[in-house]
Structure 1
Amino acid sequence: MLVDFASLKPHSRVWIYHSKRKFTPDEKEIIYESLSSFTNDWSAHGVPLVSSFDIKLDSFIILAVDEEAHGASGCSIDGSTRAMKALEERLGLPLFDRAQASFVRGNELFTFPVSKLREAASTGEWNSETLCVNTLVATKGELESGFVIPAGATWLKRYLPAAPITG
């Protein structure tokens, strides 16, 4: 059962899907059409899920379920994966690429392949204070408070140059 994203409670579970570039207005229309239909009919064991979706930073699709009302089951999660794969195919954009890290500078989003993070940090392209998108948030509450945070407060800190030891 599709509800307004803002009405979902902070404990609602979220899944994040990422595009390496911003969605066009036509792509956003396709996303809204596809996910409105999917979330309106999404259920677990025949029970409608209180669910919604949102687009953040014009590049991230957030799918959410209020599991207090009824939990998402393995089969219903598989259904959401199929829906997102179908959307990915329709858009011709990879949405499941977890080998990218996204950063925010002003109104711009930029990404680096994980394999290039150490090099990009050593050349000053990002540092511990550079805002990054934390795709590891698990709930709507975490999304609201920790979706865009300094890279040094995330798993990305392991790619930063070691601080010199003074003494």
Structure 2
Amino acid sequence: MVVEFEKLSDDAKVWIYPSSRKFYPQELDPLKEKVSSFVTSWAETLDGEISYQLLYNRFIVFGVEDEVKLTNSQLDEQVAFILKLQLEYEVELLDKMNVCFKQGEFVQYKDVKEFKKLLKNKSVNAKTVVFDNLVQTKYDLENFWEVPITDSWYNRFL
């Protein structure tokens, strides 16, 4: 059953797909419709609560209650859907090792090599907020997804 994201428990499993660019305003409504349609049909194959969010017009987040036992086939459906979006919108959504970070009010997306250069050149620093797209629960998403570099696994680049 599809529910509001806020209604998911803190233990709900999350998947975050960062886009290599911000979705354009004219893409947002069709994208939301596609994600909503996918989640609705995906929920029919699951026994439990599921939800999604689009954050910063850049991140697609799925949430599924922890007690829901997902099959490999159901996970494959999610990845296939994301692959389809990648092709349609000409973005990268599956590379979780690239770095997403805030620069002022903007969210940037760089490969690790470029990010290290930005650190070296002092374009970003220890206080720069990064997004840890490897978090796995709703609680972690809400508390440890947006953190200063020093509080993230990226701190090894400092």
TM-score of the aligned structures, taking structure 1 as reference length: 0.86
Q: 1:146 to 1:99 in 2, by over 3 A?
A: closer
4+ runs of 1 displaced by more than 6 Å? Answer: none
- Give how far 1:126 is off: 1.2
1:7-156 matched pairs, under 5 angstroms: 7-43=7-43, 46-68=45-67, 70-156=68-154
In structure 1, distance between residues paired with 2:23 and 2:42: 24
Distance 1:25 1:84, change over 3 A: same
1:27 to partner: Cα distance: 1.9
How far residue 47 of structure 1 moved from its aligned partner, in angstroms, is: 3.9
CA distance in 2, matches of 1:67, 1:42: 16
Query: Which amino acid is the alignment partner of residue 77 of structure 1?
Result: L
Shift of 1:30: 2.2
Count the aligned residue pairs.
158
* Aligned-residue RMSD, C-alpha: 1.7
Q: Aligned-pair distance for 1:129? A: 1.0
What one-letter code is carried by the residue in structure 2 that aligns with 1:10? D
Structure 1 or 2, whichever has the larger Rg, is 1
Report 1 or 2 for greater relative contact order, CA contacts < 8 Å, sequence distance ≥ 6.
2
1:117 shift after superposition: 2.7
Would the alpha carbon gap of residues 137 and 99 (structure 1) be closer, same or farther in structure 2, given more than 3 Å must change?
A: closer
Q: Deviations over 1:76-129 (max 9, x none)?
A: 111111111112222121211234201113311123211223222111011211
The code of the aligned residue for 2:140 comes to E
State the Cα distance separating 1:49 from its structure 2 match: 4.2
Is 8-17 or 89-98 further displaced after alignment?
89-98
CA deviation profile, 1:17-61 (whole Å, cap 9, x unmatched):
1112211223221221111111112158x4444211101122111
Aligned partners of 2:16, 2:118: CA distance in 1, in Å? 24
TM-score where L is the length of structure 2: 0.91
What amino acid sits opposite 2:70 in the alignment?
Answer: A
Q: More displaced, 110-119 or 79-88?
A: 110-119
